[in-house]
Chains A and B, each alone.
Chain A
Amino acid sequence: MTSVTKAAPVATLSSSTIARLRELAGAENVLTEPEDLIPYGFDGTAALKHGAACVVMPRTSEVVAAVLRFAVSQGIPVVTRGSGTGLSGGSVPVDGGIVLTLVHLNHILEVDPANLTLLAEAGVITKAIDDAALPHGLFYPPDPGSMKISTIGGNVANNSGGLRGLKYGVTRDYVMGMEVVLPDGSIAWLGSKCVKDVAGYSMKDLFVGSEGTLGIITKVLLKVVPRPKARRTLLASFDSMEAAARSVSKIIERQIIPCTLEFLDRRTCECVEDYAKVGLPTSAAAVVLMETDGHPAVVEEEAAAMEAIARECGAISVEKAADEAHAVRLATARRSAFSALARIRPTTILEDVTVPRSHLAEIVAFVEEVAARHRLQIATFGHFGDGNVHPTILTDETDHEEMERVHLALEEIFAKTIALGGTITGEHGVGLAKKPFLSGQFDEASYALMKQVKLALDPRGLLNPGKIFDLDR
């Protein structure tokens, strides 16, 4: 973790540069006062902060292109920003750079029920996409915890996951095409509405998960699917993490693919319950939120089977959501887990390690052992079905001695993850926060390839510089 607690002095832009930006984007869409800029100095990541030189809020792709062309011609770095909920520092400003926030590009352009697609501008809020699909009986499944405020552009740039990854996959699985502004100011359309399309490289895939380092996504063409007719939500509690993990493995082994298998440890349950008051058990060592959706008959059958498996594996209790509203409340409560954990200590450092599913119990146990050994409070929750866990360190960034121990613990957790064949980030991206740990996971050839791609698209290295990896390493 690169930690910049105090804001470093910020390089400013010349008045002629600002004047030109005002001409290009409209004066009211260019922010330069300190009171305007300070709130753009961070995203959702703990202990990362840097001042922006200027914020531009374009309202069309053409303005995005014009601003980017101008910035690149002047050698000014550009950081693209959605809603700034990222958890790896991806949209934290860089020194002397422009922050280009796309929240005004927020129109849904088309819902096409005949082709099961939806076209939206990049600044549309994730939940608004699913809301627009609903009246057509359609469904946009990726549902990151932040879906009420994250933008679809940010989701694509981070290839975000959600609570339904096990059955429905992640954002990438729904991107059919996109409009992207390249660093030279050209606007490219990638992909199509065709279910099958192998004309040329799959360029759109290059931009999924590119974290704003290759181009600025301005429109996204998404796949939507028929809305499941039925849904069943269960809440199983266990007196050990191992028992919970065992039941999850059993469910998958028996070839049941529920849409959600989320788990929360005791501390997470306590915090979430404190906030949401939805009746989560706060005495169990682990709670698993299970959800199956689809055809009503299948859903009933799967729910019954999951309940039986949970009991077989020693669940203390298995509770069914009373109705749809209760199910939604439970899922919403789970989505607030990360923020709710901030109730305990001043600094909440969330990790995102992912391992092959068979190693889940092992990594969770390892995190517990590390926490005890380094005398740290670590709460863990996550997407059990995806092998993606969020060990969350509850600490205080101003306590240097404790932060030392935090760093040691993180290094050990990352090393263990990689040893188990896992990845240091399953869904939050590398950004700034995970950059120092990337080298453990990549060999030299992979680095060289990433660098080549970056330089081919952005030869001057002005798009979100210093994120994911450094060009000069």
Chain B
Amino acid sequence: MASTKEISEDQRKSAVRPLRHMADLDYSVVQQCMHCGMCLPSCPTYLETRMERNSPRGRIALMRAIADGELEVTREFGEEMYYCLGCLACTTACPAGVDYPQLFEHARAEVEAADVLFTPGRRFWRWLTLRQLFAKPWMLRAVGRMLWLYQASGLCALVRKSGLLRLLPENLRNLEPTTPTVCRHFSEQLIAEIETPPARKYRVGMLTGCVQDLVFSDVNLDTVEVLLANGCEVVTPRDQGCCGSLHAHNGDLEQAAIQARRLIDQFDLASLDAVITNAAGCGSHLKHFSNLLRDDPAYATRADAWDRKARDISQWLVEIGFRKPNGVAETSQVMTYHEACHLCHGQGISKQPREILKAIPGLEFVELENATHCCGSAGVYNITQPEQAGKLQREKAACIAKTGATLVATANPGCHLQIQNAVGGETVVKHPISLLAASYRAEKGEAR
């Protein structure tokens, strides 16, 4: 790895390459899989078809065949890499410590570079989402604002009636009724750039996220409240934008690196004890900026420091010994917990959210069967592979129904929406931090 060795100026320039593929991966990452098959029973797509290519072991074998020059990047390979949910259940299951997230991201990048899945429509949607919408904070906000107006003004109902939606591609059209309701306010309108608690013990940076900012800015507000209640001064830079996880998971490592640099630039790391995220999907990506930027001499060291300071909110709270709440906001509710893939598999965080949830008075905690199974949201998987996503969603809903819970806690916006759409109106989905914040508020007799 170049960052640790002496490198010449030329090497330094060429090291910051625009694209990263299988061949750029350290071969040992590909070689790490000893094809024992221990991951197979945890993989949703393998369990569906029982074909090796749809398993982690099979996918890694295909990647290795490409790295070894035994297979070209083909359309079939591309489709396989997008049939994978990226749920990372295989990472938890693998005793050999295979870094599947890295393999998967590079494989998708390889697929995009070879353009084997090309259709004009796909290219347009990718450009629009990855290079425009989620690359430019102002644009996402503008769209968010329009969506909010559309939903709040009643235009939405009108459009549904008019049949205009038929103009959209089928996958998207099926999804329209499940489009999340956009929040009235963005995080910045709710949170000051620096919020200081009465007794300051820590100073942390706060990541507002992109989807979280748009759809769940209330979760961001709750997070700041909880941090303040635990003696953390919170620094929330403006105009943060997407952390790039969306790009990395979809084969655009070049843009992901741009997003990562931008985010690092916004925080004065030396002055912070931690950088906090409350979205599992972001956390599992942004704890590994050093992988993404390791060949960039200007950022490699800062990316290392960043990785060391990045924390999921529940992880941080348990680390600092959060104050147990004693306000009862919701009485005698049965609650269960769905583990977001990118929290339990991506970050190995399982105990901490439970510790928080169990500390909240008035809620009865029931374990969810197969809590770590993917709900089918998996980034944009519910758009690209609606069938498999729908199947996983129904399985999740059935398990939730068995618990009798009226409240489901989960810590990722994608899962939140996917599950809310599955369980209907009776059962409410909340971020664990929102429940904790509500309990703190109830201590003071406040409500929101």
Contact = CB atoms under 8 A, between A and B. Distances in A.
Contacts of A275: 95, 97
B36 A35 contact: no
A327 interface: no
A149 B95 contact: no
Nearest to A276: B95
Interface in A370-424: none
Contacts of A336: 38, 95
Contacts of A106: 50
A159 to B, nearest CB: 19
Contacts of A6: 68, 70
Interface in A20-42: 31, 33-36, 38-42
A38 B70 contact: yes
A38 B41 CA distance: 20
Contacts of B95: 272, 275-276, 336, 338-340, 342
Interface string B64-77: 01001011001011
A149 B50 CA distance: 11
A343 B57 CA distance: 16
Contact of B96 (A41, A43, A146, A340): A340
Assign chain B's interface to a size class: 20 to 34
Most B C-beta atoms less than 10 A away, residue of A31, A85, A149, A343: A149
Contact of A342 (B32, B51, B59, B62): B32
Identify which of A35, A41, A83 gathers the most chain B CB atoms within 10 Å of its CB.
Answer: A35
B55 A85 contact: no
A7 interface: yes
- The CB with the most chain A CB atoms within 10 A, among B35, B68, B80, is that of B35
Nearest to B96: A342
Nearest to A396: B31
B71 A38 contact: yes
Given A6-B68, A38-B71, A84-B52, A44 B37 contact: yes
A350 B154 CA distance: 67
A261 interface: no
A346 interface: yes
A106 B51 CA distance: 14
A42 B35 CA distance: 8
Contact of A35 (B34, B55, B74, B97): B74
A338 B38 CA distance: 11
A16 to B, nearest CB: 24
Contacts of B38: 146, 148-149, 336, 339
Given A6-B68, A104-B50, A84 B96 contact: no
Given A84-B37, A149-B37, A149-B38, A38 B62 contact: yes
B94 A35 contact: no
B28 interface: yes
B61 interface: yes
Contacts of B32: 342, 346
B237 interface: no
A146 B53 contact: no
A149 B58 CA distance: 15
A125 interface: yes
A88 interface: no
Contacts of B57: 39
A103 to B, nearest CB: 5
Contacts of A342: 32, 34, 36, 95-97
Interface string B256-294: 000000000000000000000000000000000000000
B50 A36 contact: no
A35 B37 contact: no
Contacts of A34: 71, 74
B378 interface: no
Nearest to B30: A346
A149 B62 contact: no
Contacts of A146: 36-38
Nearest to A333: B95
Interface string B1-34: 0000000000000000000000000001001101
Given A35-B80, A38-B65, A340-B95, A44 B58 contact: no
B36 A339 contact: yes
A125 B37 CA distance: 13
Contacts of A84: 35, 37, 52
B40 A346 contact: no
Contacts of A38: 53, 58, 61-62, 65, 70-71
Given A146-B36, A146-B37, A39 B62 contact: yes
A100 interface: no
Given A35-B62, A38-B65, A346 B37 contact: no
B53 A35 contact: yes
A33 B76 contact: yes
Contacts of A125: 41
A35 B59 CA distance: 9
B53 A36 contact: yes
Given A34-B74, A339-B94, 17 more contacts: A34-B71, A35-B80, A36-B51, A38-B71, A39-B61, A44-B34, A84-B35, A104-B50, A146-B37, A274-B97, A275-B97, A339-B38, A342-B95, A342-B96, A346-B31, A346-B32, A347-B34
Q: Which 5 A-B pairs have the closest CB atoms?
A: A39-B58, A339-B95, A39-B52, A342-B96, A336-B95
30 contacts: A7-B65, A33-B76, A34-B71, A35-B76, A35-B77, A35-B80, A38-B53, A38-B62, A38-B65, A39-B53, A39-B59, A42-B35, A46-B34, A57-B51, A84-B52, A85-B37, A104-B50, A146-B36, A149-B41, A276-B95, A338-B36, A339-B38, A339-B96, A340-B95, A342-B34, A342-B96, A342-B97, A343-B97, A347-B34, A348-B34
